[in-house]
Amino acid sequence: MAAAQLELRQVTKRFGGVAALDGVSFSVPPGQIFGIIGPNGAGKTTLLNCISGVYRLDGGDVLWQGASIAGRAPHRVAALGIGRTFQVVKPFASMTVRENAAVGALFGSAEAHLPPRQAFERADEVLELVGLAGKAALPVTALTIPDRKRLEVARAVATRPRLLLLDEVMAGLNPVEVDEALEMVRAVHATGVTIVLIEHVMRVIVGVCDRALVLHYGRVLAEGEPRTVLKDRRVIEAYLGERYARQQGG
């Protein structure tokens, strides 16, 4: 396995004495799609917040290409080439789709920070990539929820990340929309971006992830090849349920 691009070592985060994350460790080599699954309240979004600098750690360390980034402010983490989306999408409502995407190119990683004309050219590229090129001139308020999720990804990709953290970009989508979102993730990954994604849709985890990690009460319950992880009896009991196991023939 290649050297880790991202590595977490015994990451711990507490809120009011309760450990939302309790000694979480894993590593992601360059070029992988790494899935994170688990029940609601397992600590998945907290984990992304710890990686991206939104939360300060109460223990452990986060390493980016071998160097600690724990304690860095979110904008400094982004400048290193770590982009992310948020579970609740919040586009700039007064702007067009194209202007929203250009924001990422203006204020993203150190490799972004483009002048305005080039930022809009970058916006056009990423909107084409995520399937929103035909809606670039529309006000954001005219977009459907699935398209707003696409825009959230476009804005993050516009920062030119080397690692992209995706927080449930397929939540609430119907099966056709999930298929379209899957193709979007594959298209972004094909540009050379490593992806860590949180998802509840198991066919997404099986369909695109090289490895998957299961969180339960802030601890790692299982990690490995997705199909193997999803057959783990502990994962079935804690998260997937017997109905899922029967559907899979388990």
Taking the mean position of all CA atoms in its chain, how far away is CA 209? 12
Domains belonging to the chain, first-starting first, are: 1-77+194-250 (3.40.50.300)
What phi-psi label fits residue 220: left (phi over 0), alpha (psi between -120 and 50 degrees) or beta?
Answer: beta
Strand partners, 167: 198
Query: Does residue 133 contact residue 155 with C-beta atoms inside 8 Å?
Result: no
Walk along the chain (250 residues) and give the pLDDT tens digit of each residue.
468 999 999 999 999 989 999 999 999 999 999 999 999 999 999 999 999 999 999 999 999 999 999 999 998 999 899 999 998 888 999 999 999 999 988 876 555 566 788 889 999 999 999 999 999 999 999 999 889 999 999 999 999 999 999 999 988 888 998 999 899 999 999 999 999 999 988 889 999 999 999 999 999 999 999 999 999 999 998 887 766 666 665 5
What residues form DSSP beta bridges with 110? none
Structure tokens at 122: 């970058």
Residue 231: what residue type?
K
Global pTM reads 0.91
Are the C-beta atoms of residues 236 and 244 closer than 8 Å to each other?
yes
CA atoms of 229 and 37, how far apart (whole Å): 10
Q: Which two tokens stand for residue 7?
A: 């590595």
Task: Tell me the C-alpha distance between 156 and 78, whole Å.
Answer: 10
Longest C-alpha distance within the chain, in Å?
A: 55
